């Protein structure tokens, strides 16, 4: 059990490092003349080709029932692709900082759902980690110039709901039993299919015109899609959805650090302090609940009372 916790945590952290680099790679792709639709179409096309080639070469058991197939398609389109689409739209109405704060309400959404709907009980580690990571998130993405717009807030909340659906969906019994590579194969294929239909309808997909453009798309397909999606899926299977998404709040920290070193963006003291708090939240999750209660001087209630 402790082994699973450590392995799952490391997998989610690795996926977070990869996902956190997406904003920087996307900005570099935009500089090469690519648009959002083209980037996502080729990203998911190449990812689906690589994953399914591996599945067929390894002769992995990928078949599932028709109902579960549609479930996986919904997981990919509504969960994974929905998050990406809604957050991109939100950026056109409100600042990236505010949109990110709202998007990362999904750990609280998932933890609340698990405690209330699934009746998993209160876990002091998760509650404390949510509070600490939440404060850290605000410090990381806080800006002096935050403009409130109802549509921007709505789209950010929709993105958070989609991501919550995706993370919880990975914990579904039948999906959890599947190999993480197979699940990733269905998710990436669903995203590719959705953007193929969108591209045919809007005629807004075109080939990269530069070598760098192709390199950035390959990086997004392999490093930002195939690897982190498999790692996150496996991590959720090992440690659960709520713990995984609390750890994934480290993603904006990675984005800020990558932006600082690669794009020359600003790295403030509050960002550094926020990153430290988020790291602290990850470490809190590694402490046993009994030990944490002793540290916080919380006494267990007597069963006779």
Where along the chain do its domains lie?
2-293
In tens, the pLDDT along 41-98 reads 999 999 999 999 999 999 999 999 999 999 999 999 999 989 988 887 887 787 665 6
Residue in the structure block whose two tokens are 């995706």: 166
Asked if the model's pLDDT at residue 132 lies above 70, the reply is yes
In tens, the pLDDT along 260-278 reads 888 787 777 887 888 888 8
Q: What is the pLDDT of residue 261?
A: 86
CA distance 18 to 73: 23
Q: Judging by beta carbons within 10 Å of its beta carbon (0-12, 13-18, 19+), is residue 116 exposed, middle or buried?
A: exposed
Full DSSP string of 37-82: HHHHHHHHHHHHHHHHHHHHHTT------HHHHHHHHHIIIIIIIH
Q: Judging by beta carbons within 10 Å of its beta carbon (0-12, 13-18, 19+), is residue 100 exposed, middle or buried?
A: buried
Model's pTM, two decimal places? 0.79
Q: What is the pLDDT of residue 255?
A: 79
Asked if the model's pLDDT at residue 303 lies above 80, the reply is no
Do residues 226 and 184 lie in contact, with contact meaning Cβ atoms separated by under 8 Å? yes
In tens, the pLDDT along 144-202 reads 655 568 888 889 889 989 999 998 999 888 998 999 999 999 999 999 999 899 888 98
Q: What is the pLDDT of residue 305?
A: 47
The count of residues in the chain is 305
In tens, the pLDDT along 3-49 reads 888 899 999 999 999 988 887 888 888 889 988 888 889 999 999 99
Q: Percent of the chain, pLDDT > 90?
A: 36
CA distance 90 to 86: 6
Lowest mean pLDDT among 100-109, 164-173, 201-210: 100-109
CA distance 252 to 258: 10
Q: Is 33 left (phi over 0), alpha (psi -120 to 50) or beta?
A: left
CA distance 272 to 136: 9
Say how many Å lie between the first and final Cα of the chain, rounded.
31
CA distance 247 to 126: 10
Average pLDDT over residues 213-237: 93
- Residue 247: both structure tokens together: 């750890």
Q: What is the pLDDT of residue 298?
A: 63
What is the radius of gyration, based on Cα positions, of the chain? 20
């Amino acid at each position: 059990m402790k082994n699973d916790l450590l392995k799952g945590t490391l997998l989610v952290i690795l996926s977070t490092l990869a996902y956190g680099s997406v904003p920087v790679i996307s900005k570099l792709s935009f500089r090469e003349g690519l648009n959002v639709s083209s980037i996502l179409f080729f990203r998911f096309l190449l990812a689906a080709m690589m994953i399914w080639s591996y599945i067929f070469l390894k002769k992995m058991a990928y078949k599932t029932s028709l109902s579960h197939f549609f479930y996986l398609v919904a997981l990919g389109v509504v969960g994974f692709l929905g998050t990406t689409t809604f957050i991109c739209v939100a950026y056109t109405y409100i600042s990236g900082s505010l949109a990110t704060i709202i998007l990362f309400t999904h750990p609280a959404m998932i933890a609340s759902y698990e405690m209330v709907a699934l009746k998993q009980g209160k876990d002091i580690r998760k509650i404390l980690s949510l509070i600490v990571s939440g404060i850290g998130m605000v410090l990381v993405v806080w800006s002096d110039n935050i403009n409130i717009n109802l549509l921007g807030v709505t789209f950010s909340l929709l993105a958070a709901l989609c991501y919550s659906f995706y993370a919880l969906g990975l914990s579904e019994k039948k999906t959890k039993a599947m190999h993480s590579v197979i699940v990733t194969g269905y998710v990436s294929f669903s995203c590719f299919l959705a953007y193929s239909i969108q591209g045919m309808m809007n005629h807004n997909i075109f080939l990269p015109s530069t070598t760098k453009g192709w390199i950035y798309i390959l990086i997004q397909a392999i490093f930002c899609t195939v690897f982190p999606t498999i790692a996150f899926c496996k991590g959720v299977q090992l440690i659960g959805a709520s713990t995984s998404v609390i750890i994934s709040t480290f993603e904006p920290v990675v984005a800020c650090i990558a932006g600082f070193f690669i794009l020359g963006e600003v790295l403030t003291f509050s960002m550094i302090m926020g990153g430290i708090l988020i790291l602290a939240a990850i470490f809190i999750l590694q402490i046993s609940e009994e030990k944490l209660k002793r540290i916080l001087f919380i006494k267990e209630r007597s069963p006779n009372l």
